[in-house]
Amino acid sequence: MTDYSIILISTIIIPFIFSFEKKVNFISKIKTVLKVIFIVFIPYIIWDIVFTNYSVWGFSEEKVSRLKILSLPIEEHLFFFCIPYTLIFIYEVINFYLIDSKLKFNHNFALLFGIILLTIAIITYPKAYTSLQFLITSILSFYIWLKKLEIFLSKNFWIFIIVSFIGFIVINYFLTSIPIVVYNSSQILGIRILTIPVEDFFYHFTLTTVLIILYKSFHRLNEK
Residue range 35-53: average pLDDT? 96
CA distance 163 to 154: 15
Query: Cα–Cα distance between 34 and 204 in angstroms, integer?
Result: 19
Residue-wise pLDDT for 177-196, tens only, equals 999 999 999 999 999 999 99
Confirm if 41 and 81 have CB atoms less than 8 A apart.
yes
pLDDT at 67: 95
Strand ranges inside the chain, DSSP E:
57-59, 68-69, 72-73, 181-183, 192-193, 196-197
Mean pLDDT of the chain: 95
pLDDT at 221 over 70: no
Q: What is the pLDDT of residue 130?
A: 98
Cβ atoms of 202 and 137 within 8 Å: the answer is: yes
- pLDDT reading at 222 higher than 70: no
Average pLDDT, stretch 160-179?
97
Structure pTM? 0.95
**Residue 224: pLDDT over 60:** no
Please compute the mean of the pLDDT values over residues 82-99 and round it to a whole number.
97
Strand partners, 183: 57
